Structure formats: structure tokens, C-alpha cells
Copies of this chain bind each other. A is one copy, B any other.
Amino acid sequence: MPTQPSKDLLAVPNPHPGRDYTVTCDTPEFTCLCPLTGQPDFATVRISYVPDQALVELKSLKLYLWSFRNEGGFHEDMTNRILDDLVSAIVPRRITVVTDWLVRGGIHTVVEASHPATP
């Protein structure tokens, strides 16, 4: 099964679109590169959403997260980009993305973004 990393998030039909319900996916297997130093960063990513017409297919989500392995990006930007990509792919009713980064410079950082944004 040597599939490849890919930015293509696959949408599959939501079997219960008549009901608001919540799907949460989290993984500690996220790594990208620091845009300043080129060194690896590591994060746990948690995605929680209320689907409308589509669910995100789990394997494509794995390949999507893998696709950042050799890309650089600041913590805040990464989080919003993942959020934007998921909003485009499955157009959920509500969605929150949280990234929880391993310590850099003695500081532990967590970024949380939602769509629509919580007031």
C-alpha cells in the first residue's frame, strides 16, 4: 500500500445529513519544518467538525497530513491552512482545528481556529 502524500482531501457522502453530529479525529503523527531554521517541528493535530453533506475520508486525511512533512510553516499559519483546506473540501456546518506543538525555546504552543469563527 505505498500510497503517496497528497493535498487532495477526499470527501465522502454523509450518511446522516439530517442530523447535526460531531466527528473528532486526532493524531500525534504530524511533522513539518520550521520556516526559519529548516529543523523539524512536531505537533498533535485535532480536527472536530459537524458534517453537512460530506465526511472527510480517513485515509485521504492521513495522506493530507503527511503532505506537510517537507513543508515549512509557522504554527499559526499551518493551523489556519489546515482549517481552510478542510472547509473547502467538505464544507462542514462547523469545524475546529487544534494544533499542539512540542516545546521550542522552552515554550509550549497550542493554536485553535474554528469556522465559522467563535465570537
Residues on A facing B (Cβ under 8 Å): 1-3, 14-16, 19-29, 31, 36-40, 42, 51, 55, 58-59, 61-62, 66, 69, 74-77, 79-80, 102-115, 117-119
Stoichiometry (number of copies): 10
From B22, B28, B106, B118, contact of A112 by CB (8 A): B22
Q: Which residues of B contact A61 (CB under 8 A)?
A: 107
Looking at chain A's contact residues, the main secondary structure is: mixed
- Asked if B25 and A109 make an inter-chain contact with CB atoms under 8 angstroms apart, the answer reads yes
Q: Which residues of B contact A3 (CB under 8 A)?
A: 37, 39
User: Looking across the interface, which residue of chain B has its beta carbon closest to that of A15?
Assistant: B77
- Asked if B62 and A106 make an inter-chain contact with CB atoms under 8 angstroms apart, the answer reads yes
- A-B residue pairs, 10 tightest by C-beta: A21-B113, A20-B117, A16-B80, A24-B110, A29-B106, A22-B112, A62-B105, A27-B107, A15-B77, A103-B103
Q: How far is the CA of A20 from the CA of B69 in the complex (A)?
A: 27
A43 to chain B, nearest CB (A): 11
